[in-house]
């Protein structure tokens, strides 16, 4: 199969990060999963669960992409550094949260929500950009959309539990996410029968669309649960 030179495309989408990336398993950091403990705070527990799942996906990417070389390896190192940066920020805030004052706690929660959205986008995009071959890319995109679909159903259920004055806006936001999901699925479905070269040409744009959708669903979930907690 003829492959396009993906490195130049990746550089535009993933952006440059300063310095040279060290392998994720050689950073000297403790395992993020080992650093966090369960608390009685529903937000903190949900954030830590999402953090652990994203970290698992990231570590799997690190393992799978260790075999890359040349320009594709360099593009992956840049993306990995970006993920490591936001992962470190998240881990630090999750450690601070239990002992934070009320005012500081609100600031930390806002940062955690924002950084979880960012990490979701970067990890999901990386999973798709570095999937092996066009067919694997389509399969991975479909898996991500299936997970988005499950999350949207959960969001819809949460929206129904809100007070009447907030329920309409939340339900409208969830339906907007569902429409976005259907639009992306239509594109992914059309790629199933496309030639390998055509899939490669669409890979970056579709990966961004799927990743952005996953991140938006993540953010909406935390915003809805915050309203329910209040």
Query: Which of 109, 130, 151 delimits the end of a domain?
Result: 130
pLDDT class of 37 with cuts at 50, 70, 90: low
**105 with 164, same domain?**
no
CA proximity to 115, closest of 96, 93, 90, 80:
90
pLDDT in tens, 66-103: 998 898 899 999 999 999 999 999 999 999 999 999 88
Q: Which range of residues forms the domain containing residue 102?
A: 1-130
pLDDT in tens, 122-166: 999 999 999 888 889 999 999 999 999 999 999 999 999 998 888
pLDDT class of 14 with cuts at 50, 70, 90: very low
> pTM value?
0.79
d(C-alpha 77, C-alpha 65), whole Å: 9
pLDDT at 230: 67
pLDDT class of 24 with cuts at 50, 70, 90: very low
Q: What is the CA radius of gyration of the chain?
A: 19
Judge whether 191 and 133 are in contact, CB under 8 Å: no
**110 with 179, same domain?**
no
**161 with 193, same domain?**
yes
CA proximity to 180, closest of 201, 154, 208:
208
**164 with 107, same domain?**
no
Alpha carbon 148 to chain centroid distance? 11
**11 with 76, same domain?**
yes
SS3 59: helix
**182 with 94, same domain?**
no
pLDDT at 82: 96
Count of domains in the chain? 2
**31 with 107, same domain?**
yes
pLDDT in tens, 185-219: 999 999 988 998 999 999 999 999 999 999 999 99
pLDDT at 22: 37
Query: Which of 63, 95, 130 delimits the end of a domain?
Result: 130
Query: Which of 90, 109, 130 delimits the end of a domain?
Result: 130
pLDDT at 38: 55
**219 with 121, same domain?**
no
**140 with 126, same domain?**
no
pLDDT in tens, 166-190: 899 999 999 999 999 999 999 999 9
**117 with 178, same domain?**
no
Region label for 19, one of left (φ > 0), alpha (ψ between -120 and 50) or beta (otherwise): left
**83 with 20, same domain?**
yes
pLDDT at 11: 36
Indicate if the pLDDT at residue 48 is higher than 50.
yes
**120 with 209, same domain?**
no
CA proximity to 204, closest of 70, 68, 5, 62:
5
């Amino acid at each position: 199969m003829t492959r396009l030179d993906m490195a130049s495309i990746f550089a535009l989408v993933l952006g440059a990060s300063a310095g040279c990336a060290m392998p994720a398993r050689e950073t000297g950091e403790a395992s993020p999963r080992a650093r966090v403990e369960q608390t009685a705070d529903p937000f903190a527990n949900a954030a830590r669960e999402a953090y652990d799942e994203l970290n698992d996906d990231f570590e799997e990417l690190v393992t799978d992409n260790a075999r890359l070389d040349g320009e594709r390896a360099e593009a992956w190192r840049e993306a990995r550094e970006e993920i490591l940066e936001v992962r470190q920020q998240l881990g630090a805030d999750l450690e601070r949260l239990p002992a934070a004052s009320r005012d500081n706690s609100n600031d930390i929660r806002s940062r955690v929500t924002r950084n979880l959205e960012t990490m979701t986008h970067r990890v999901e995009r990386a999973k798709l950009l570095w999937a092996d071959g066009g067919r694997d890319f389509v399969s991975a995109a479909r898996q991500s959309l299936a997970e988005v679909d499950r999350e949207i159903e959960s969001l819809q259920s949460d929206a129904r539990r809100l007070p009447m004055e907030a329920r309409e806006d939340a339900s409208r936001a969830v339906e907007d996410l569902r429409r976005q999901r259907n639009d992306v699925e239509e594109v992914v479905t059309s790629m199933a029968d496309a030639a390998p070269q055509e899939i490669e040409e669409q890979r970056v744009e579709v990966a961004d669309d799927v990743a952005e959708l996953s991140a938006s669903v993540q953010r909406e979930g935390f915003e809805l649960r915050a309203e329910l907690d209040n």
